[in-house]
Copies of this chain bind each other. A is one copy, B any other.
C-alpha cells in the first residue's frame, strides 16, 4: 500500500506541477505578455489543461484509487494520506462524470459568450448577450444531468464551487440575513451621510503603491515567496506554496482602489503562503473553498483594514505621504469616510453593509433560472425589480445592471454566493479570534499583526484543503456557517459610525 500511495503522490505531483505551470502562464498573460501572444498562450494553456485532464481521468488513476480505498479506511481520517485519497476520489468522480466532448463544447460556447458579453456591456444591449446566455443555461442543465439527483438541482452547481454546500442551507442563511441587512441600510439612510470627498483627490501613484507595500509588509505578506505587480483587475496567483503573487491597481484620483484592493489580495495570498509544506505538490494545496478564501481576503481588507485600531497606527503615515490631501482631515473623519454606506448599482464597488444584498439578488435569480421560473429574456426586468426592492436603486441601463458581471459569460452559475459566505465566515472567525487573542486591538494600534496571522496560519491556513468548508468552520468556531456574527459586526460598527 505504501507503494500505491507513492504512486498517487507522484500523480498528484504531476498534476500540481501542470497546475503551477498554468498559474504562471496566467499570471504572465495578465501582467507582462505581449499583446500578439494571446492566441498561442490560449493554445499552451489548453494543452496543459488537456494533459492534466487526461491524467486526472485516466483508468489507471481510477484503479489506483479503488485499490487505495481500504488503506484510507484504515487510517486516521484526519491524516494527510486519508484526506488526500478522499479528495482524489471526489475529484476523480467529478471529472469523469463530465464527458470530454462536453468540456470542449463548453469552452467553445463560453469563448463566444465572453466576447458577446463584452460587446453587450459596452453597448448596454442585453439582446447581444441573450442567445449566448440561453446556450449557457442549456449547458448548465446538461451539466447538472451528469450528476446524480440532489435535493435541489442547484446543489450540483454550488458543490462545484463550494464543496458540500446545499441550496437549502445557503437560502436559509441568506433569508435570515436579508431582512436584517435591509433594515440596517434603511436606518442608515435616515441619518446624515458621512463625507468621503477627501478620498476623491489626486494621489500620486508611486506614493500610493509604496504605502500599500508598507501595509501588507506589516501584515506579514512574505516577499521572499511572492511579488506584487500591476494589472487591470487585481488577482492572487499561486503556482506553489513558495510562489504566491498578487497584483493591484492604482487609481490616480481615488485612494480606496489601491488601498483595499491591495489588502484584499494580500489576504488571499497569505492564505496561500500559509499552507503546510507537507501538502505541497498534493491535491490538498490551495484553500478549503472559495468562501473560506474570501473570508481571509475580506478579513484583512475590512475587519482589519477598515478598522479604527488599524488606522490609529497607519493614518499618521498616510497623512505624512499626502499632507496636502489629508493633513487637515482628522482620523475620525477619515475612518467614517472609508466606511461610508451608500446603496449603489455595482457589486464590486459596494460597501460592507450593502455588499451581500448584491449577492442574494444573484443567487435568487440563478436558482429561479435553474428551476425554469425566470426565462433568460426576462432577466433584465427581474434584476432591476430586485435592485429596487433590496437596495432602493434602479439601474439606468443593463450595463450597470444585469450585464455588470463577467461570471455568467464564463458559464459560472453557482459561484456568486461564495463571496457573501466569505463575509459571514470572516466575522464568525473574527469573534473566535478576539476571544482567543483579547489584545488584538492594542496590537493593531501598535502596528503589530503577527498574532492575527499566526492564529490564521495555525487554525486555517496550514490545513490547506484538508477539510470541507463547513467542516473547517465547525472545527474552528464550534458551529457551522452562521450569519449572526456578521450582523452583530455590522450593527455595532455602523451603529457607531451613523449614530443609530
Kindly list chain B residues whose C-beta atoms are within 8 Å of the C-beta of A239: 37, 40, 44
Q: For the complex, is A48 an interface residue (Cβ under 8 Å from B)?
A: yes
Q: Which of A224-232, A288-296, A455-463 contacts the other chain?
A: A224-232
* CB under 8 Å from chain B, chain A span 234-252: 239-243, 245
Instruction: Tell me the bound Cα distance from A47 to B40 in angstroms.
Output: 21
Q: Which of A21-29, A114-122, A302-310, A372-380 contacts the other chain?
A: A21-29
**Residue of A25, A222, A241 ringed by the most chain B CB atoms within 10 A:** A25
Other-chain contact of A47, B13, B25, B32 (Cβ < 8 Å) = B13
Q: For the complex, is A223 an interface residue (Cβ under 8 Å from B)?
A: yes
Q: How near does chain B come to A150, taking the closest CB pair, in angstroms? A: 36
Kindly list chain B residues whose C-beta atoms are within 8 Å of the C-beta of A47: 13-14, 17-18, 21
Q: For the complex, is A210 an interface residue (Cβ under 8 Å from B)?
A: no
Q: How near does chain B come to A39, taking the closest CB pair, in angstroms? A: 7
Output the nearest chain B residue to A37 by Cβ-Cβ distance: B243
Kindly list chain B residues whose C-beta atoms are within 8 Å of the C-beta of A241: 40
Tell me if A34 and B242 are in contact (CB < 8 A). yes
Tell me if B28 and A242 are in contact (CB < 8 A). no
Q: How near does chain B come to A10, taking the closest CB pair, in angstroms? A: 10
Instruction: Tell me the bound Cα distance from A65 to B391 in angstroms.
Output: 66
Tell me if A40 and B240 are in contact (CB < 8 A). yes
Output the nearest chain B residue to A46 by Cβ-Cβ distance: B17
Output the nearest chain B residue to A32 by Cβ-Cβ distance: B227
Output the nearest chain B residue to A242 by Cβ-Cβ distance: B36
**Residue of A36, A51, A224, A239 ringed by the most chain B CB atoms within 10 A:** A36
Instruction: Tell me the bound Cα distance from A24 to B47 in angstroms.
Output: 15
* Stoichiometry, copies per complex: 2
Tell me if A44 and B28 are in contact (CB < 8 A). no
Q: How near does chain B come to A464, taking the closest CB pair, in angstroms? A: 15
Instruction: Tell me the bound Cα distance from A18 to B45 in angstroms.
Output: 9
Kindly list chain B residues whose C-beta atoms are within 8 Å of the C-beta of A18: 47-48
**Residue of A34, A41, A240 ringed by the most chain B CB atoms within 10 A:** A34
Q: For the complex, is A281 an interface residue (Cβ under 8 Å from B)?
A: yes
Q: For the complex, is A33 an interface residue (Cβ under 8 Å from B)?
A: yes
Known: A13-B43, A47-B14, A243-B41. A25 touches B21 (CB 8 A): yes
Tell me if B37 and A225 are in contact (CB < 8 A). yes
Q: For the complex, is A148 an interface residue (Cβ under 8 Å from B)?
A: no
Instruction: Tell me the bound Cα distance from A51 to B24 in angstroms.
Output: 18
Instruction: Tell me the bound Cα distance from A489 to B385 in angstroms.
Output: 80
Q: How near does chain B come to A290, taking the closest CB pair, in angstroms? A: 23
Output the nearest chain B residue to A223 by Cβ-Cβ distance: B34
* CB under 8 Å from chain B, chain A span 441-498: none
Q: How near does chain B come to A148, taking the closest CB pair, in angstroms? A: 34
Q: How near does chain B come to A228, taking the closest CB pair, in angstroms? A: 11
Residues on A lying within 8 angstroms of B by beta carbon are 13-14, 17-18, 20-21, 24-25, 28, 32-37, 39-41, 43-44, 46-48, 51, 222-227, 229, 239-243, 245, 280-281
19 other A-B residue contacts (CB within 8 Å) besides A13-B43, A24-B28: A14-B47, A14-B51, A17-B46, A17-B47, A17-B48, A18-B48, A32-B227, A34-B223, A34-B225, A34-B242, A34-B243, A35-B224, A36-B224, A37-B243, A40-B239, A40-B281, A41-B240, A43-B281, A44-B240
